[in-house]
Structure 1
C-alpha cells in the first residue's frame, strides 16, 4: 500500500479501444483497478495454458468484465524496470476475453499430444453399439448383456460337476 507507482503502464491499442468502448461505470472501475495494479496494491489471477505468464483481474464485484494484462520489461528511457501491459478489457462471458488476448498476442493454440487427442476421441465401437441398440426395437433383439435377467436364455446345467449331484450319490 505505497500509493506510489511501482510499475509503468502500457496498452495494446486495441485494449485502449476496449476500455474507451466499455460502459462508463466499468471504465471507471477499470481505471481504479489499473491504478491499484501500478501501485502494486493489487494483483490478478495467473492464467495458464496459451496465456501462461499473464494475469486476469475482475473489474467490479460482479466479475462481468475482466482486464487481462502481463508484466514486461519497460523501455530503456522509462523510470521503471517493469511495465504492466494491458492486453484486453472485455466482458467475461465464456472465453471471449481469453480468445481476444490470444489473438492480440499472436499466439496459436498449442497442439495437443496424441494421448490427449485419444482421450477426447470417441470410440468407434461405442458408436456401432449405440447404432445397433437404436436400430432394434424388440427387447429380445438386444444383445445378451443388455437383456434383463428374466429374458436371458438359461444355460443347461450339467449335474456331473456338482458335488451334491444325485448321480454322484448313487
Structure 2
C-alpha cells in the first residue's frame, strides 16, 4: 500500500457521526477517508457559507456525504497537511451541511468580524475627515473606534457585515460553470463489458448524469440560501435560467433511465438465444436478418459482438439501435441545456447595467425558459 500523503484529524462530533451511520455506509465512508489520506482527489469544493471546505460522496446514490477540510497539520505531525473531517451524515434536509456549518460557523464569523474591523481601521486611517477629527478629539483604542451609531436594541443580534448582491460576473460564472458540467456528461466514459456492449453508447451519460444533477442542485441551494438572497433582476434572471436547466436535465435523465431499462428488458427477452446458423432461409442474408444492408466486415463485427452478448445478431442490432437513439436524445438535451445556459450567461455578463431588464415580453425570459414554454405550446 502507498504511503499516506496527508495526516488525518476529525471534529469530535464527526467521530460520533461515523458511529451513527448504517454499517455499510460507515464502511464506505472509512474507505473514502482512507483513499483521501492516500492522495485521492474524489471530492468537490463547497461554496457559500462552507467555502474552503469540500464534500465527499459516500455511497453510489450520493444519499450520504462527508464534509472535510484540507488544512495545515500540527507541528508534531509527520505530514505538512491533514484532512480534517468536519461532519458525516445524510444529505436529507441538508443535515450534514447544517452540522458542518454549526461546527465551523463560530470560526468563520470571528474571521469575518476581524476582517471587517481591519477594513474599518484602514478606511479611517486614509480618511481626511478622520484626520481632521483626530485633532479635535482624544485618541481612542481600536475597540472604541468601531462604529456604534447603529447598535441594535438589547436582545437583538448585531449585524457584523453588510453584504452586497453578487456582481453580474459571478452570476454569469454560475451559469457558465453549470453549462460546462452539463456538457461534461457527454464525454463521460464508463467501462463496458463485452456481454453488455450494446449499452456502451448510454452508460457514460447514465453514470455521470445523476452526479452532475446532484452537484447542480447543491449549487442552486447554496445560491438561494446565500445572503443576500437573489432578489435583484440579474439575480432572479440567473435563478430562473439555472432552475430551468436543472429541471430540464432531471427530466432528461429520468427519460434516459427509463429507456435504458427498456433496452435491458428487451435484451433479456430471448431466454434461449437462437443459433444464427439455424435460421430460416433468407434471414442469414444481411437484408433479411437486419432489415438493411451491412458490409461483410460490419456483419462479422456484429456477429462477434452479438455472440459475446448472448443475443441473436438481429436482436443485438435492435437493442444497439435503441441504445444509439437514446444516446442521441440525451446528447441533444445536454447540448441544448448547455448552449442555453451559455447564452444566458453572456446576456447577464454583457448587460449594460446590473439591472437586467425582465419585462412582460417573453423574449426577456431566459433562453431555457422560453424553450420550455415553446415545447409546452407545441404539446397542446
Q: TM-score, normalised by structure 2?
A: 0.29
Mapped to 2, the partners of 1:21 and 1:8 lie a distance apart of 24
Task: Tell me the residue number matched to 1:16.
Answer: 15
Secondary structure, aligned partner of 1:36: helix
Compute the displacement of 1:118 (Å).
7.8
Greater helix content: 2
Instruction: List alignment gaps of at least 5 residues for structure 1.
Output: 121-170
Task: Tell me the residue number matched to 1:119.
Answer: 231
Mapped to 2, the partners of 1:118 and 1:89 lie a distance apart of 29
Task: Tell me the residue number matched to 1:49.
Answer: 48
Larger Rg: 1
Task: Tell me the residue number matched to 2:98.
Answer: 99
Task: Tell me the residue number matched to 1:27.
Answer: 26
Cα distance change on mapping 1:59 and 1:118 into 2, 3 Å: closer
Cα distance change on mapping 1:113 and 1:81 into 2, 3 Å: same
Task: Tell me the residue number matched to 1:72.
Answer: 71
Cα distance change on mapping 1:29 and 1:113 into 2, 3 Å: same
Q: TM-score, normalised by structure 1?
A: 0.63
Mapped to 1, the partners of 2:75 and 2:85 lie a distance apart of 19
Q: Which moved more, 1:41-50 or 1:76-85?
A: 41-50
Compute the displacement of 1:95 (Å).
2.3
Mapped to 2, the partners of 1:33 and 1:11 lie a distance apart of 14
**Superimposed CA distance per residue, residues 45-97 of structure 1 (whole angstroms, 9 cap, x where no aligned partner):** 11011111110011010111101000111110100000100000010114222
Cα distance change on mapping 1:21 and 1:79 into 2, 3 Å: same
Instruction: Please provide the CA RMSD for this pair.
Output: 2.5
Secondary structure, aligned partner of 1:14: helix
Secondary structure, aligned partner of 1:95: helix
Mapped to 2, the partners of 1:99 and 1:6 lie a distance apart of 29
**Number of aligned pairs?**
120
